């Protein structure tokens, strides 16, 4: 909070003071980037000051955030982030990669990446004294807002399409949010949420609308930076001095485009501070049936044309992405690209990750499916270090998961039946 200066519009570059605007640019509707006082941060902190903290959660990076770390007893809001990175050795061998890792965001309190955004927005809501926070959601953003709100007795209202997976709706209800299902798409819910926020004075968390969501999502970049410093040092020890490898390549599933632009922002913050010298390469992965951002990237433009989204991966099913321009730039400015994957490829990815002990929801597994395709197309080479992001838990959508595997046999409860089966 003390280092929060204001906003800068990603389209027209207009700068706004912290109390001047709340959501998007009043001139052109562009997404606002939060501006921090980098000089003050640089003067006051060294990386070691943050990295030596005992707190493994995203709040360890509080000096780089536009909100204060919440005080009080430990709650789910206090423990967001700090997610593990696993090395996928067998899968690396299968695809001829020397180094393949997965960062597992399903281990956040409400089991998705969205907790990063919702925790920061709830902290902001407390600071500005908002009575009610509202969001539109395909499920995870709502579950995260409901969970983070419940943790600190904040009131929340969630609008979701009535087609949201039952497990996600259950989460919303159990966390005690006011849940309103909309007979329409996520995009319908999105527009309705903004109208309600304006009408009733609620604080709106909508992804790609509220500038604080990307500030939460950028903390994944901070964690990757911190992890890579160690992984990279260990890796270098095994090799010749002066060995210059390609940058870390990160695969990110993309719907509204807010995760990939948030991660990009996190790395840009670190570069501004002089704490990171080399930008990782960001590769966005979209479902073939929901590829508005990918379409723009591949056409070499920033104008996002809406699509009629259709994919099994509900969390990345978006007609009109709300953070499309910054998402296109995240790939363009880092030497990355966009890759589309089919629902079939996504389901294969769910099954493949399952065999490493990671249960991903379809949207989360999409990043892995994109990696498989990138190897086939030689977008990543054997020596490129690769990190895949799993953004959500498979328990959130078991109907999709059951499509990724064969049903088990049912037998008589006799030894003979088992022997027959095993034969």
Binding region for Zn ion (CB under 5 A): 9, 11-12, 25, 27-28, 30
CB atoms near residue 238 (< 10 Å): 7
122 touches which of ligand PLP, Zn ion, none (CB within 5 to 8 A by kind)?
none
- For residue 95 the two structure tokens come to 């695809």
* Helices and strands in the chain: count of H runs, count of E runs: 16, 13
Q: How far is the CB of 297 from Zn ion (least distance, A)?
A: 21
List, in order, residues 6 or more apart from 362 with CB less than 8 Å away. Answer: 311, 312, 313, 314, 315, 343, 346, 347, 350, 397, 400
Q: Long-range pairs for 276-281 at CB < 8 Å and ≥24 separation?
A: 276/225, 278/247, 279/247, 279/333, 279/334, 279/335, 280/224, 280/228, 280/247, 280/248, 280/249, 280/250, 280/334, 281/246, 281/247, 281/248, 281/249, 281/250, 281/334, 281/335, 281/336
Could you tell me if 334 and 294 are in contact, meaning their C-beta atoms sit under 8 angstroms apart? no
Q: How far is the CB of 333 from ligand PLP (least distance, A)?
A: 17
11 touches which of ligand PLP, Zn ion, none (CB within 5 to 8 A by kind)?
Zn ion
Number of residues that bind ligand PLP (CB under 6 A): 19
Q: Which of 131, 130, 132, 135 is nearest to 115 (CA)?
A: 135
Q: Does 309 bind ligand PLP (CB under 6 A)?
A: no
Q: Does 115 bind ligand PLP (CB under 6 A)?
A: no
Nearer to ligand PLP, 249 or 290 (CB): 290
259 touches which of ligand PLP, Zn ion, none (CB within 5 to 8 A by kind)?
ligand PLP
Site string for ligand PLP, 159-198 (x = CB under 6 A): ----------------------------------------
Query: Could you say which of 70, 255, 266, 370 contacts ligand PLP (CB under 6 A)?
Result: 255
Q: Does 140 bind ligand PLP (CB under 6 A)?
A: yes
Calculate ∠ Cα 200-203-206, nearest 5°: 115
Q: Does 254 bind ligand PLP (CB under 6 A)?
A: yes
Residues 19-58 binding ligand PLP (CB under 6 A) are none
Nearer to ligand PLP, 193 or 391 (CB): 391
Q: Does 207 bind ligand PLP (CB under 6 A)?
A: yes
Q: How far is the CB of 27 from Zn ion (least distance, A)?
A: 4
Q: Which residues bind ligand PLP (CB under 6 A)?
A: 112-114, 140, 207, 253-259, 315-316, 361, 363-364, 391-392
């Amino acid at each position: 909070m003390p280092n929060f200066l204001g906003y800068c519009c990603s389209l027209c570059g207009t700068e706004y003071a912290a109390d001047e605007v709340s959501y998007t640019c009043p001139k052109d509707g562009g997404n606002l980037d939060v501006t921090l006082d980098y000089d003050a941060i640089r003067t006051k902190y060294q990386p070691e000051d943050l990295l030596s903290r005992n707190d493994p959660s995203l709040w360890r990076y509080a000096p780089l955030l536009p909100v204060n770390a919440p005080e009080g007893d430990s709650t789910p809001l206090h423990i967001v982030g700090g997610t593990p990175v696993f090395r996928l050795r067998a899968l690396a061998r299968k695809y001829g990669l020397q180094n393949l890792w997965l960062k597992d965001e399903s281990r956040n309190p409400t089991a998705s990446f969205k907790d990063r955004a919702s925790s920061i927005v709830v902290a902001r809501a407390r600071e500005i004294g908002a009575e009610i926070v509202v969001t539109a959601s395909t499920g995870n953003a709502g579950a995260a807002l409901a969970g983070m709100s419940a943790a600190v007795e904040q009131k929340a209202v969630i609008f979701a399409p009535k087609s949201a997976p039952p497990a996600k709706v259950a989460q919303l209800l159990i966390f005690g949010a006011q849940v309103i299902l909309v007979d329409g798409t996520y995009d319908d819910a999105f527009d309705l949420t903004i109208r309600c926020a304006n009408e009733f004075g609620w604080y709106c968390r909508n992804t790609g609308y509220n500038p604080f969501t990307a500030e939460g999502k950028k903390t994944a970049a901070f964690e990757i930076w911190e992890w890579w410093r160690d992984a990279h040092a260990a890796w270098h020890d095994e090799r010749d001095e002066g060995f210059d490898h390609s940058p870390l390549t990160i695969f990110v599933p993309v719907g509204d485009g807010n995760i990939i632009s948030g991660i990009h922002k996190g790395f840009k913050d670190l570069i501004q501070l002089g704490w990171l010298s080399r930008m990782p390469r960001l590769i966005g992965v979209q479902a073939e049936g929901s590829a508005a951002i990918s379409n723009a990237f591949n056409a070499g433009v920033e104008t996002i044309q809406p699509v009629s989204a259709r994919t099994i991966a509900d969390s990345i099913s978006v007609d009109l992405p709300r953070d499309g321009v910054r998402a296109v730039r995240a790939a363009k400015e880092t030497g990355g690209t966009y890759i589309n994957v089919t629902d079939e490829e996504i389901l294969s990815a769910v099954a493949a990750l399952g065999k490493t002990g990671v249960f991903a929801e379809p949207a989360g597994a999409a990043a892995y499916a994109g990696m498989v395709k990138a190897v086939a197309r030689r977008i990543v080479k054997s020596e490129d270090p690769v990190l895949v992001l799993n953004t959500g838990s498979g328990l959130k959508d078991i109907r999709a998961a059951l499509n990724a595997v064969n049903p088990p046999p049912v037998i008589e409860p006799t030894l003979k039946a088992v022997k027959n089966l095993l034969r």
